[in-house]
Amino acid sequence: MNMQTVTETVKAAPPVTVGVTMIWGLPLSEWAQIAAIVWTIFLLIEKAPVVWQRLSTLYNKLRGRNVHSK
C-alpha cells in the first residue's frame, strides 16, 4: 500500500464506523430520526396549552366576546 491509499483509508474510517454502528438492531442514523421525532412531540406537548389559549382568545375576539371586559 502506498501512503496516499493509507491516508485516504484513515480519513474514511470515522464515517464508516459511525455508519455501521447498530444499537438494538437499528443504525445510528435511524436513532437520530427517532430522537428528532420524540423531541418534536415533547415540544408540541409543552406548547399545546399556550397555543390553545391563544386560539381560544382569537376565536372569542372574532365572535365578538371580549373575555377581559367583564
List pLDDT tens digits, range 47-57: 889 989 999 99
Per-residue pLDDT of 18-49, as tens digits, reads: 556 676 777 877 888 989 999 999 988 988 89
Its pTM stands at 0.49
Which cell numbers hold the place of 47?
A: 406548547
Write the CA distances from 1 to 6, 16, 17, integer angstroms.
7, 20, 21
